[in-house]
Structure 1
Amino acid sequence: MHAIRQYELGGPEVLRYEEVKDLEPGEGQVRIAVDAIGVHFIDTSLRAGFTSAVHKPLELPMTPGREVAGRIDFVGKGVDESWLGERVVAHLGMASGGYAEQALAAVGSLHEIPQGMSYATAVASIGTGRTTAGILDQAPIRADDIVLITSAAGGIGVLLIQAVNEAGATSVALAGGADKVAIAREQGAAMAVDYRIDGWDEIVRRKLGGNLATLVFDGVGGAPADAAFGLLAPGGRMMQYGWHGEEPTTYDDPDRTVSMMLGPQMMARPGGIRSLEEEALAKAGDGSRVPLVGSQYALSDAAAAHLDLVERRTHGKVVLVPDARL
């Protein structure tokens, strides 16, 4: 089979497309013939050497990637053979190994893909959809909220727009560039503004007619997040789930709460992470929160996918597809 291998820390160029030995599942595992692979921004950070309390240093050499969808073609000891041939999606946790034509997963991590759902949508749901469900679990949206969303054309941003609409609230989408603003509008944003335009925050303030945001979802950090915080009303909430710089932006205002939503907070939620995966797949299946798979790349082009994601040239969820499946 073919897989992406990483032997050293560094830029996208360290991702190598190579032929490797076929995988054999161990006890309680299955082998998935992969059709779609999720790419997450954290993948690019780990590749370059990012570590945290949750993310340990990479043990090199390794194959990146933790979100896969495909069909089971081999089962290990102790696994019911009725799994053979099933269409499944799985989050591999910290195990990695997803950027490949085959992946190993524990039976307990599997979800059957709903009938009619594509592999790409399923893999976007198990990763980005799961994260979005966790964000919304910590920051429920009220019908009277004015919700400002940074990175609104990204994988999570698109789902947050849909969630705001589902709640009957007002969405203010911030995106970088006219094409991404158009995507946010297509997803149903009540207002969509290009935050690369000088004075964009004053444009939002004017269009809101004197109102201010009551909830901010921020996945960018830096100057856009600072300006978004300036549009947050007293008593409002700012929920951060990522940033594009070296460090998250920090704030100090007792009248406006700021919370970081990922990591231990999400891992410790009642019901566990699996319940978020189930919710995300159910929402995608019933059409209420459907991931936008906006950027697809061949597995052999994983380095290009990482580069485009870091340079913010992608939109929606970024997905790799094994070359033989294209």
Structure 2
Amino acid sequence: MHAIRLHAFGPAENLLYERTEDPVPVPGQVRIAVAAAGVHLLDTALREGMQGPYPTTAELPTIPGREVAGTVESLGAGVDAGWLGKRVVAHLGLVPGGYAELAVTDTARLHEIPAGLDEAEAVAMIGTGRTTMGILQFTDLGPADIVLVPAAAGGIGTLLVQYAKNAGATVIGLAGGAAKVTRVAANGADLAVDYTLSDWPEQVRDHLRDQLGGRRATVVFDSVGGATGLAAVGLLGKGGKHIVFGWSGEGLHDGKPLTFTDEELAERGITSESVLGPVMIAKAGGDVRALEERSLAEAAAGRLRPAVQRFPLANAAWAHRALETRGTMGKVVLEP
């Protein structure tokens, strides 16, 4: 098979398209002919040798990627023959191997792809969608809410905008550049604003005053941190929620989530909660699969539709570089 292999930690150009041995499914596993492999911003950090949330750095050489969708083309011992030929999607967990034409995983990780979704969309929902469902556990949105979504043109941001609109909330989406702002508006945001413009907070305040009677935002879904995140929090009213799930604006290496002291929160009259990792899993009762099932069900019902940006598998290095330079919209997917 062909796969993307990483022999040395470093820049995106270290991702090499090579021929390598086909993986063999062990008992309890299937082998998937991969039609789509998800790319996560975290993958770019792991490529550079960061440990991330995993016990150790990757053992080299490695095939990156932990999200795949395709067709089951062979079975390990003891696997129900009914899986053969099914369209499936899976998160591979701690085991990489997704950036390839073939991938193996345990049957317990498989989900059948709902009718109406292609493999790239299914990959987006098993990774980005799962995380979105996890984030949404921490607030109940409704018609009284004014929701502010920085990075609203990204994979998670796209789904948060859709979910909040479905719940009846007013949605303000931030994005960087005219093309992304246009995408956010087309996705249903009531107001789409370019956060690269210095006056974007004033644009939002004007909208709140002129269109919403001077009300303030009730929820900020913060994946960017830094100055943009801080300005977004400044638009929250008393009782508002700051929900943190990233710090892309600060850089993966040196950045950190936007946090506040208890005194600062009391002065602002808001709450702030970081919801990634163990906190999110605990909120789901330890059942990550339930988040995956909910995500796929939302897509199958047409309530959520992921935005996908596709790259050929051979161009994985381009995909990583585009992610690192904020040159993408939606979920990045590799297609063999």
Give the TM-score taking structure 2 as reference length.
Answer: 0.93
> Residue by residue, what CA displacement relative to the aligned partner does 1:74-130 show, whole Å, maximum 9, x if unpaired?
100111122111110000011110000000110000001112321111111111111
Pairwise mapping of residues 90-109 of structure 1 onto structure 2 (< 5 A)? 90-109=90-109
Which of residues 296, 311, 320 is equivalent to 2:334?
A: 320
| 1:275 equivalent in alignment to 2:284 | no
Q: Find the aligned partners of 1:285 and 1:51 in 2 and give their Cα distance.
A: 34
Q: Retained in 2: the 8 A contact 1:266–1:273?
A: no
Letter in 2 for 1:251: F
Which of residues 243, 246, 260 is equivalent to 1:251?
A: 260
Where do 5+ consecutive residues of structure 2 fail to align? none
| 1:206 equivalent in alignment to 2:206 | yes
> Residue by residue, what CA displacement relative to the aligned partner does 1:225-275 show, whole Å, maximum 9, x if unpaired?
111111111221111111222222222322222111111112222261001
Q: Find the aligned partners of 1:52 and 1:84 in 2 and give their Cα distance.
A: 34
The residue number in structure 1 matching 2:221 is 217
Q: Find the aligned partners of 1:275 and 1:65 in 2 and give their Cα distance.
A: 22
Shift of 1:18: 0.6
Shift of 1:139: 2.3
Shift of 1:58: 1.6
> Residue by residue, what CA displacement relative to the aligned partner does 1:286-310 show, whole Å, maximum 9, x if unpaired?
11011111x1100010000000011
| 1:76 equivalent in alignment to 2:76 | yes
Q: 3-state DSSP class of the match of 2:166? A: helix
Shift of 1:56: 3.2
Q: Find the aligned partners of 1:298 and 1:55 in 2 and give their Cα distance.
A: 30
Where do 5+ consecutive residues of structure 1 fail to align? none
Q: Find the aligned partners of 1:139 and 1:8 in 2 and give their Cα distance.
A: 42
Q: 3-state DSSP class of the match of 2:326? A: coil
Which of residues 320, 323, 330 is equivalent to 1:306?
A: 320
> Residue by residue, what CA displacement relative to the aligned partner does 1:208-237 show, whole Å, maximum 9, x if unpaired?
002211100011111111111111112211
Which of residues 229, 232, 254 is equivalent to 2:233?
A: 229
Shift of 1:13: 1.2
Q: Retained in 1: the 8 A contact 2:216–2:236?
A: yes
| 1:163 equivalent in alignment to 2:177 | no
Q: Retained in 2: the 8 A contact 1:54–1:263?
A: no
> Residue by residue, what CA displacement relative to the aligned partner does 1:134-165 show, whole Å, maximum 9, x if unpaired?
11112221321110000000000000000111
Letter in 1 for 2:228: P
Greater displacement, 230-239 / 52-61: 52-61
Q: Retained in 1: the 8 A contact 2:121–2:306?
A: yes
Letter in 2 for 1:301: N
The residue number in structure 2 matching 1:287 is 302
Q: 3-state DSSP class of the match of 2:62? A: coil
Letter in 1 for 2:291: L
Size of the aligned set, in residue pairs, is 321
Q: 3-state DSSP class of the match of 1:208? A: helix
Question: What is the Cα-based RMSD across aligned positions, in Å?
Answer: 1.2
Pairwise mapping of residues 103-122 of structure 1 onto structure 2 (< 5 A)? 103-122=103-122
Letter in 2 for 1:50: M
Q: 3-state DSSP class of the match of 2:153? A: coil
The residue number in structure 1 matching 2:141 is 141
Greater displacement, 280-289 / 48-57: 48-57
Q: Retained in 1: the 8 A contact 2:45–2:52?
A: no
Letter in 2 for 1:288: R
Q: Find the aligned partners of 2:327 and 2:52 in 1 and give their Cα distance.
A: 26
Q: Retained in 2: the 8 A contact 1:205–1:211?
A: no
Shift of 1:174: 0.4
The residue number in structure 1 matching 2:47 is 47
Give the TM-score taking structure 1 as reference length.
Answer: 0.96
Q: Find the aligned partners of 2:142 and 2:45 in 1 and give their Cα distance.
A: 34
Q: Retained in 1: the 8 A contact 2:46–2:52?
A: no
Q: Retained in 1: the 8 A contact 2:90–2:109?
A: yes
The residue number in structure 2 matching 1:238 is 242
Q: 3-state DSSP class of the match of 1:320? A: strand
Q: Find the aligned partners of 2:49 and 2:246 in 1 and give their Cα distance.
A: 17
Shift of 1:53: 5.0
Q: 3-state DSSP class of the match of 1:312? A: coil
Letter in 1 for 2:223: G
Greater displacement, 309-318 / 111-120: 111-120
